[in-house]
Amino acid sequence: MEQQPWQRFGGASLNEPIAEEVNNALVAEWKAGNTIQVCLGTDSQVKGTVIEFATVIVFVRKGKGAFLFLQRTMLRRQMSIRERMLMEVDKTVQLGLQLSAVLEKHGIIPELHIDINSSPVYKSNVAFSTAMGYISGMGWICRAKPYAFASSSCANKIVQ
């Protein structure tokens, strides 16, 4: 698995560990008087023999827009849609665990967004109940499509 460094949406690399970068961003936003909601999500796209994953941290400034940090990961492997959806979920959960101390320090409860459709009509639904149970069982807020903008819109733009 080839993992690229964390970066800003515009492409600038983040130089510090991600938890420190998140802390610095939250401190700066607090000093600017902004109220922040943090949403985490991952999306993937199969491109030939490679699966490209994009994981995002979306900082929503209440009433003032948003910005995000992102990380790309490439994996050369075939997998079922269920396995790929659950790998997206796991990447998001692992990021939540990595950031939990800094988010808790700032009094922020993150939303974990999964790019899985709640409607059985869609293929991704094969992983819906497992993913929701996994995230909810850990005590986190979980949003699925169509409410999962961090994964289905933001991360999706990275892997297209």
What are the residue ranges spanned by the domains of the chain? 2-159
Q: What pLDDT does residue 1 have?
A: 78
Residues in the chain where the model's pLDDT stays below 50: none
- Return the pLDDT at 144: 92
Q: What is the pLDDT of residue 127?
A: 94
- Quote the pLDDT of residue 115: 92
Q: Which among 121, 123, 108, 112 has a CA at the least distance from the CA of 147?
A: 112
User: Is the Cα torsion angle 88, 91, 94, 99 positive or negative in sign?
Assistant: negative
**148: which residues sit within 8 A by CB, 6+ positions away?**
41, 113, 114, 115, 116
CA distance 58 to 74: 21
